[in-house]
Structure 1
Amino acid sequence: MTDRDGWLIGKLSDRVGISAHTIRYYERLGLLEPSKRTESGYRIYGEENEERLRFIQKAKRFGLSLDEIKQLITVRIKGTPPCASLKTMVKQHLDDLDRKIEEMVSLRREIASRYKEIDRLLADVSAPTPKQICRGKICGLIESIN
Structure 2
Amino acid sequence: MKIGDLEKQSGISAHTLRYYEKSGLLKPSKRGDNNYRHYSNEDLITAKFIKRSKACGFSLAETSSLLAIKTDKSQHVCAEAKAITHNKLQEIEEQIQRLEQMKETLSKLHHYCCGGQESAEFCSIISALEEGE
TM-score relative to the length of structure 1:
0.71
For 2:14, the aligned partner's letter is: A
**1:103-136 alpha-carbon deviations (Å, 9 max, x no partner):** 22222222222333223xx7xx5xx74xxxx573
> Which of the numbers 3, 6, 12 marks the counterpart of 1:12?
6
Deviation at residue 76 of structure 1 after TM alignment: 4.2
Within 5 A, what are the aligned runs for 1:109-128? 109-119=104-114
Aligned pair in 2 of structure 1 residues 144, 90: CA closer, same or farther (>3 Å)? same
Look up the match of 1:144. Answer: 127
Deviation at residue 143 of structure 1 after TM alignment: 4.5
- Structure 1 segments of 4+ aligned residues over 4 angstroms from their partners: none
Look up the match of 1:104. Answer: 99
Contact preservation (8 Å) 1:12, 1:45: yes
Look up the match of 1:89. Answer: 84
TM-score relative to the length of structure 2:
0.77
Contact preservation (8 Å) 2:2, 2:37: yes
Within 5 A, what are the aligned runs for 1:22-101? 22-78=16-72, 79-81=74-76, 83-101=78-96
In structure 2, the residue corresponding to 1:144 is in which secondary structure?
helix
In structure 1, stretches of 5+ residues that fail to align are: 1-6
- Determine the C-alpha separation between the residues in 1 that align with 2:70 and 2:103: 43
For 1:61, the aligned partner's letter is: A
Deviation at residue 53 of structure 1 after TM alignment: 0.7
Identity rate, percent: 30
Contact preservation (8 Å) 2:30, 2:39: yes
Aligned length, in residue pairs? 128
Deviation at residue 50 of structure 1 after TM alignment: 0.8
Larger C-alpha radius of gyration, 1 or 2? 1
- The structure carrying a bigger helix percent of its residues is 2
- Determine the C-alpha separation between the residues in 2 that align with 1:141 and 1:65: 39
